[in-house]
Amino acid sequence: MKIKTSYCAAAVLLGAVANGYAQSGEQPEIEQMVVWGTEVRASSVYMDTADITIRQADHISDLLRTIPGVDVGGAHSMNQRITIRSMDDKDLRISIDGANQNTYMYHHMGNLQIHADILKSVDIDVGTNSVINGGLGGAVRFETKEAKDLLSGNDRFGARLEGTVSDNSGDSYSATAYAQLGSKVDLLAYYNHVDRDNYEVGGGEIKDANGDVIPGTDGKVRGLKGDLDDALIKVGIDFTPSQRLEIGYESYKDEGNYSYRPDMGLATDLAITESLGVPLLWPTEFTRDTYTLNYDASIGSHTQIKAAVFRNESSLWRDELGYAQNPAYETWAAVVEGDAENTGVNLLAETLIGSGVTHTLTYGLEITEYDTQYTATYLSGAVDSAGEEATDSAVFIQDRIELGQFALIPGLRYNDYDLNSAVVDKRYDDVTGALALEFQPTDSLLFRLSGTELFKGPDISEVFVGAGLFEDPNPELEAEGGRNDELSFAYGDAVLGADQFSVGATLFRTEIEGYIYQYASPVMDNVGDMEITGGEAYIGYDIGGLSALLTYSDAESELDAYAGYEQFEGARIDRQQGDTWSLNLGYEFASIDLKLHYDALLVGDVAAGPDLDGATLENAKDGYTVHNISLQWQPLDSLQLTAGVDNLFDEFYASQSSRTGTSFHPRFGQLYLMDYEPGRNIKATVSYRF
């Protein structure tokens, strides 16, 4: 028996995996032959447990953009902004090895900073579909590598060296050592370094909103060049075959002379720089230290427990003394730092009881304490400082009642959120429920209908721009509520001549009551009820060495504004993107250990219309199509060679989950916000395992 961290994921996988798994509800084990790589599992699609190192991911977008309903906005290393069904990372639950990552550091960067190479798996719940996960839009759980998965057979020690070179993104290298120390203890030590370059955009020309080349540019985006270091130490202790403790420490550091606003394009940076007469690039450093203690235990054959204690420390530092170059802005010159700490504990347990009618109880608790601090030390000697804190707690219980071909899944969750911020000092609490019905007429076919109530308290203030120091209070601010309803089916079997044929679809409707808009005037406020509707679908066909997967997703949002906010009536979420298709093709020549891979992403246009926090003059979004190819050859058991081309046809584009469009600013005038993605990028990787 396994902990079911997502019953929506289980619902899709139940219908798609082999019959034995469909009957038990368990997900397949990770194949031991996969000695390195990242597994991606998502509730919106069945992807098998394929190793996708062939993509040579150097940004989280390389892993996730072909998952239906999921996108990653931002091309800068400091702006990996995951969106699910148009909702950004502030509305998701994001964790690394059980450690909560939700920290609103800076509105020009994302909440997640991690390099893809360190990841063992990514588990995605597209939508909030049970009481097990909080938040509004879903959950993303990252798990880093561990020694037990890298050692094979009777090996006691191992090591791996890897190097990647590319012509349009930078180079990287990593070193890993892992060992089994005695019969109970295993150890992993990992280090990765990335020399990131300023890349060239598709077509080799930096263009403005009119399609004209911006004077003084050479096709390369400035403000990206920097160094990234990521290190991990993880110790595992198997007290007994049914009890394991893991102690982990990860250190992440990203530094360089970066653009002031990592989520906005070079055109905006140039316009603001020329207007103010200040530097284009600013010395910047982001660091994150994550400490985790994870405990897994099985009690007999009926109960399994997972527990995690964590501390996550993030810091964003920038030297803004360059403002002194213009005497008019000398008073702005300062060294600015924002610090955020998340400390908490998670407990998740599952107990199976009964015989004729079985009950699978899933229950647990989550407690996270947030503590933020802002400091600006000005050239004049003055100092600004502020801080905020919050505690987010929840307990939940869910029962999966199985009777023949039917399963009824009720659940309850109690949320308690105590916020002490400049905007509001208040305690919020609520009881939310969920109910799902599953019908499995055959081993290969599953239908699911579910409804889940939602709850989310107001975010703690943005750390890097004052941690509430410059915010106006709004004691009337309420928590967000609502519900998410879904109808889905999944089918998987060896039919139509395939070794495995799979097809599935999900329709959803999410309503967020009391939607909070940070820039509601004059204060952050609940501006209306936001409705998001859409769906995801996939069809897969595997035969012999060939695997093919076609996916589709769509999510459209619309605000029903409250009195006083009529100007936002009908507005969509700014991160909304057009109809999205993805195609993944792979072929394996097993006899010579050669794999080929091709994927394409086609995103439709988004027409101009009212939105929240989008471009103010022109917010239509252009569609785009991006093709990627790669191959991987393993001539020796210890040697692996990978080569590929990203953005094969050198498309000029920006993700629709990134900043796009044209705005007007009273100080800087017209600003073209396009967050340019990299153009064609040729990459090659060599890895050697000792």
Q: What dihedral angle (degrees, nearest 10) is formed by the CA atoms of 106, 112, 118, 123?
A: 180
Q: What dihedral angle (degrees, nearest 10) is formed by the CA atoms of 96, 100, 104, 109?
A: 0
DSSP label at residue 510: E
- The pLDDT value recorded for residue 28 is 33
At 85-109, the pLDDT tens digits run 999 888 999 999 999 988 889 999 8
Decide if 1 is inside a domain: no
Q: Is pLDDT of 605 > 60?
A: yes
At 133-187, the pLDDT tens digits run 888 999 999 999 999 888 877 889 999 999 999 999 899 999 999 999 989 999 9
For 319, residues 6+ apart whose C-beta sits below 8 A from its C-beta are: 282, 283, 284, 335
For 635, residues 6+ apart whose C-beta sits below 8 A from its C-beta are: 593, 641
What's the whole-model pTM score?
A: 0.90
- The pLDDT value recorded for residue 81 is 87
Which tokens go with 42?
A: 């998502």
At 476-528, the pLDDT tens digits run 999 999 999 999 999 999 999 999 999 999 999 999 999 999 999 889 999 99
For 300, residues 6+ apart whose C-beta sits below 8 A from its C-beta are: none
Q: What average pLDDT does this structure show over 576-600? A: 95
Q: Is pLDDT of 1 > 50?
A: no
DSSP-derived secondary structure for 141-188: EEEE--HHHH--TT--EEEEEEEEEESSSEEEEEEEEEEEETTTEEEE
Which tokens go with 308?
A: 């995690």
Q: Is pLDDT of 32 > 70?
A: no
Decide if 2 is inside a domain: no
Decide if 596 is inside a domain: yes
> How many other CB atoms are there within 10 angstroms of residue 590's CB atom?
9
Confidence of residue 354 (pLDDT cuts 50, 70, 90): confident
For residue 662, the cross-strand partners are 618, 672
Q: Are 547 and 50 in contact (CB under 8 A)?
A: yes
Q: How wide is the angle at C-alpha 584 spanned by C-alphas 582 and 586, nearest 5°?
A: 175
Q: What average pLDDT does this structure show over 110-116? A: 81
At 330, which CATH number?
A: 2.40.170.20
Whether the link from the prior residue into 635 is cis, omega within 30° of 0, is: no
The Cα-based distances of 232 to 118, 187, 291, 307, 419 in angstroms read 8, 11, 10, 20, 32
Which tokens go with 221?
A: 């985006």
Token pair 């943005």 in the structure block, residue? 462
For 179, residues 6+ apart whose C-beta sits below 8 A from its C-beta are: 147, 151, 156, 157, 158, 186, 187
Confidence of residue 662 (pLDDT cuts 50, 70, 90): very high
Phi and psi (nearest 5°) for 496? 55, 35
Which tokens go with 446?
A: 């599953």
- The pLDDT value recorded for residue 553 is 97
Q: Classify residue 592 as exposed, middle or buried by CB count within 10 Å of its CB (0-12, 13-18, 19+).
A: exposed
How many Cα neighbours within 13 Å face the side chain of 94? 21
- The pLDDT value recorded for residue 40 is 83
Residue with more model confidence, 508 or 5: 508
Question: Looking at this protein, which amino acid is placed at residue 313?
Answer: E
At 534-551, the pLDDT tens digits run 999 999 999 999 999 999
- If you average pLDDT over every residue of the chain, what do you get? 91
For the chain, the domain total comes to: 1
How many Cα neighbours within 13 Å face the side chain of 380? 11
- The pLDDT value recorded for residue 8 is 35
Decide if 37 is inside a domain: yes
Decide if 361 is inside a domain: yes
- The pLDDT value recorded for residue 50 is 54
How many Cα neighbours within 13 Å face the side chain of 300? 6
Q: Is pLDDT of 33 > 50?
A: no
Q: What average pLDDT does this structure show over 316-327? A: 97
Q: Is pLDDT of 117 > 80?
A: yes
At 418-458, the pLDDT tens digits run 999 999 999 999 999 999 999 999 999 999 999 999 999 99
Which of 375, 388, 563 has its CA nearest to residue 458? 388
At 386-405, the pLDDT tens digits run 999 999 999 999 999 999 99
- Rg (alpha carbons) of the chain, rounded to whole number: 25
Decide if 362 is inside a domain: yes
The Cα-based distances of 529 to 483, 581, 685 in angstroms read 11, 29, 48
Note down the domain range covering 507: 7-689
DSSP label at residue 60: H
Lowest mean pLDDT among 25-39, 111-125, 284-298, 434-448: 25-39
- The pLDDT value recorded for residue 47 is 63
